Amino acid sequence: MKRLFFLTLTFSILFFIYNNVLASPPDSAYLFSYSTLKNGGRNGLHFAWSLDKKHWFAIGPEHSFLKSDYGAWGSQKRMFDPYLFFGPDGSWHCVWKVNDKDATFAYASSRDLIRWKPQVYPQLDFYGNCLLPVISYNHDNKNYVVSWWSHKGGNEGYYEVSTPDFIHYYSVKELAKEAFLNDRFTVKINNVEERGTIHKVPWSVIEKLINHQKLVSFNQQLYHETTDQDPQRFAGLEKVNANITVNLEDSKSISDKMIGVFFEDINYAADGGLYAELVQNRGFEYSPDDKKGRDPNWNSFYAWHLIGEHAVFSIDTVNPVHPNNPHYAVLRIEKPGALLSNEGFNGIALKAGENYDFSMFARSTTDKKIKVFVRLTDPDGNVVGQTTVNVRSSKWKKISAVIRSEKDLDNGRLELVPQSAGSINLDMVSLFPQNTFKGRKNGLRADLAQLIADINPKFVRFPGGCVAHGDGLDNIYRWKNTIGPLEVRKPQRNIWNYHQSMGLGFYEYFQFCEDIGAEPIPIVAAGVPCQNSSCGGAGQQGGIPLSDMDAYIQDILDLIEWANGDKKTKWGRIRAEAGHPEPFNLKYLGIGNEDLISHVFEERFRLIYNAVKEKYPDIVVIGTVGPFSEGSDYERGWEFAKEIGLPMVDEHYYQPPGWFIHNQDFYDKYDRSGPKVYLGEYAAHLPGRPQNIETALAEALYLTALERNGDVVVMASYAPLLAKESNTQWNPDLIYFNNSEVKPTVGYYIQKLFGQNSGNLYYFSDVNLSDERESVRKRFAVSVVRDGVSNDLIVKMVNLLPAKIEVHLKINGLDEFSSKASCIILAGHPDDTNARPQEKEITVSNNFDHLLPAYSFTVIRIPEIYIKN
Ligand code: AHR
């Protein structure tokens, strides 16, 4: 009873305080900053406030005002023991422990505790870890001092480091135990004890934090709206009338390069995917490191099988074909009968009547000629194609042959069957369909490449993504390793935990772009690896040493010369010798991929940018503004881009459909005189990550907004592009495939319809809906463009409502006309993954009606319009 009385009393006091605060705010209050161990310590910095330092109110419990970005995804990104300090510069400075092992702490600063600058993780010259970091300020020398306790491997001590700016640090000094002032406090929040720092602040500071948290949580509700709630949200809605007036005198020029593709080797997009090679691990270079040792079978033997007896299959590295490909197979045959079989990428797909180029490097080490049958078989060993080659040289020699398949097979094998005893070495064993895209040697899988070409992409961004900046410094993608004869190219670990043979290299990328009429947009790392790197410690804080940057920059300048230089230049000649005497006419170069915009990044980016600008002023350099549509990298990235006068930046965001619905005005507020935008990666993500009508229509809605903003957003590419079934690291993707089938998603058709129906002139229109609710208005969009080449007028309409829309479309400024137009409709239930566009002919005039089905995307293309003078 007594307990109940006290509980009620406490509750009444708290209630009184809270209500009084709401009614008449105090001048100041106490602010408590802390983190919790929930979610493995990944929930970041929290705040609570109090008027009396006894009763504390959490601001949105577990609301994160700042999250740690230190280290790799998954296991890291934790914040422990944050320490907040208000500096004489009027800024808040926060340090925290990142883990128990590394000799670093994390630091970030903010003016208002809401918007934070990019984080810094100083590399400190001492042995130990940084526990309980604390900040103070030395007014004499105007330096900040960070001190901490270190306890690692049996060693314990206290240390401090001084810094004028949290970028540059003096040497670490040892500190007496008594000199370490850990002034953290313990308070009770919601009955749980938390440790952190306390500051007295004006009430307005706390009010802003409370309002910010409320806004974030309100937006989260909007962004997580899904069509599942449509029956309630739109109960009773049967049909909407839309009066659309297109004003042909009200127009603006927009980019004619809006729709393109972003190709990254993720989800087996390259080897086993777009790159048409059928043999897996042809160079015997698979390495346990590719998967960080997690798969003991992932090694030089992977995908190869010795079948039969009296033979030994081993791997050697002595005197290889080329040092870049050190491993090769040794096949010792005591008695003929055994064979070496390659399973391909979960089978080899073969087509009856088609020819396949077989090749391998081989040498005989027993001083005699060995005849080898090369067979295409089904999994039971039934032969569907065969040829014979002879290994007679004791030196490495390339042997080539052509095999015709007699059958269609999804799961074929390649077999090498020596016909006599002896020992042979084999490397770069290849089986390539002659039927590649455009018949290119070492080319691309025809059906997949055609599907990409059908989007009519105006550009291709490659080779990543994360693949471009790599998992640690050693994994940065180096274009020079990917050109030249295949045996000379240098394979490497793929950041997505598999292997890149580099068979699909820069020459093939550029050739593909040319073949489909798309601008190549190669991306080079900005001298820093991925900030989420799991190799080499603190992610991208370890940039390429400045002493090595000249060589790195030279590689980038060489890339431009290789692409654009004439045959007389060093690198132009190398391109010409590879089969392309004419320049590739490179116009764009991306530097960086959604990097942490740290000072390490900025320093290296500037060096690269200045060198490119000086030598190749016509190249449009595309910078990067972090992985999200907001936050410190986005803000600092934009600031930096403006500071150095970048022509264009690359934005990335993967968001729920609700985000796209409620942010259609994202670019309407962008500065028209600043850098242009390339939206390099985006996709609508629903829980469970399907690619369905709901996600596709959210993307379509957003694409109409991009067209409206086509004066500032000049390019956009959905991500990722390709995914091999059963080998996906990321969902959703635009095109799924297996060895013999391609499976475009509904989102693919949105890209294709936009790509094939783009324009270079945007017409503004007025839209009046019979139902004026915001929820209705935001789920209907129209975009009217004209294609300057065909002179066609293209009307795109998105209906993300569960009801039909009767459109009355009036086109002001057209002479009276009546014409046939094509009308393509993609419609379906929101969770439909199989809907396909349907095309029909309709009659249109300058004032016509058209019915849009529920959940649909419609493109009406009116041929060759004439505008009134
Ligand atoms: O598109 C998949 C990945 O998403 C890209 O590699 C990276 O840039 C982004 O995080």
Q: What is the β-pairing status of strands 761-769 and 239-253?
A: antiparallel
Q: Give tens-digit pLDDT for 175-226.
A: 999 999 999 999 999 999 999 999 999 999 999 999 999 999 999 999 999 9
Q: How many CB atoms lie within 10 A of CB 108?
A: 23
Q: Ligand 1 centre and the CA of 522: distance in Å?
A: 15
Q: Ligand 1 centre and the CA of 593: distance in Å?
A: 8
**Which residues lie below 8 Å from residue 218, measured CB to CB, with a gap of 6+?**
none
Burial of 820 (0-12, 13-18, 19+ CB in 10 A): exposed
Angle CA 736–742–748, to nearest 5: 60
- Give the number of the atom of ligand 1 that is nearest the alpha carbon of residue 464: 6
pLDDT at 866: 79
Nearest CA to ligand 1 atom 2: 720
- Give the number of the atom of ligand 1 that is nearest the alpha carbon of residue 495: 6
pLDDT at 24: 82
Q: Ligand 1 centre and the CA of 275: distance in Å?
A: 20
Q: Ligand 1 centre and the CA of 466: distance in Å?
A: 6
pLDDT at 864: 86
Nearest CA to ligand 1 atom 9: 465
Counting ligand 1 atoms within 8 A of each CB, the residue from 652, 653, 691, 729 with the most, and so the one to mutate, is 652
Percent of the chain with pLDDT over 70: 97
Low-confidence ranges of the chain (pLDDT < 50): 1-17, 19-21
Enclosing H/E stretch for 764: strand 761-769
Distance of CA 723 to the CA centre of its chain: 14
Helix axes of 546-564 and 506-516: crossing angle, nearest 10 degrees: 40
Token pair of 147, please?
């001190």
Q: Ligand 1 centre and the CA of 680: distance in Å?
A: 10
Catalytic-role residue among 519, 594, 699, 707: 594
Q: Ligand 1 centre and the CA of 264: distance in Å?
A: 8
Nearest CA to ligand 1 atom 6: 465
Q: How many residues are given for the chain?
A: 869
pLDDT at 14: 46
- Supply φ then ψ for residue 439, to 5 degrees: 65, 20
Nearest CA to ligand 1 atom 5: 465
pLDDT at 61: 83
Counting ligand 1 atoms within 8 A of each CB, the residue from 466, 591, 629, 678 with the most, and so the one to mutate, is 466
pLDDT at 22: 53
In angstroms, the Cα distances linking 321 to 341, 400, 556, 651, 704 are 21, 16, 28, 42, 53
Q: Going from the N-terminus, what domains does the chain have, and what CATH number goes with each? A: 27-214 (2.115.10.20), 240-251+760-862 (2.60.40.1180), 261-269+441-756 (3.20.20.80), 288-435 (2.60.120.260)
* pTM metric for this prediction: 0.95
Token pair of 702, please?
């957003």
- Supply φ then ψ for residue 427, to 5 degrees: -155, 160
**How far is it, in rounded angstroms, from Cα 671 to Cα 280?**
49
**How far is it, in rounded angstroms, from Cα 479 to Cα 381?**
40
Q: Give tens-digit pLDDT for 601-655.
A: 999 999 999 999 999 999 999 999 999 999 999 999 999 999 999 999 999 999 9
- Give the number of the atom of ligand 1 that is nearest the alpha carbon of residue 730: 2
Please give the torsion angle defined by the CA atoms of residues 451, 452, 457 and 461, in that order, rounded to the nearest 10 degrees. 170
Q: Ligand 1 centre and the CA of 467: distance in Å?
A: 8
**How far is it, in rounded angstroms, from Cα 126 to Cα 160?**
11
Counting ligand 1 atoms within 8 A of each CB, the residue from 73, 264, 624 with the most, and so the one to mutate, is 264
- Give the number of the atom of ligand 1 that is nearest the alpha carbon of residue 654: 4
Q: Give tens-digit pLDDT for 17-36.
A: 454 445 688 999 999 999 99
- Give the number of the atom of ligand 1 that is nearest the alpha carbon of residue 680: 8
**Would you call 487 a catalytic residue per the annotation?**
no
**How far is it, in rounded angstroms, from Cα 800 to Cα 693?**
9
Nearest CA to ligand 1 atom 3: 465
Q: How many CB atoms lie within 10 A of CB 395?
A: 7
Ligand 1: list residues with CB < 6 Å.
264, 266, 464-466, 593-594, 627, 652, 681, 719-720, 730
Nearest CA to ligand 1 atom 4: 465
- Cis preceding linkage at 647, omega within 30: no
Q: What is the β-pairing status of strands 422-433 and 328-333?
A: antiparallel
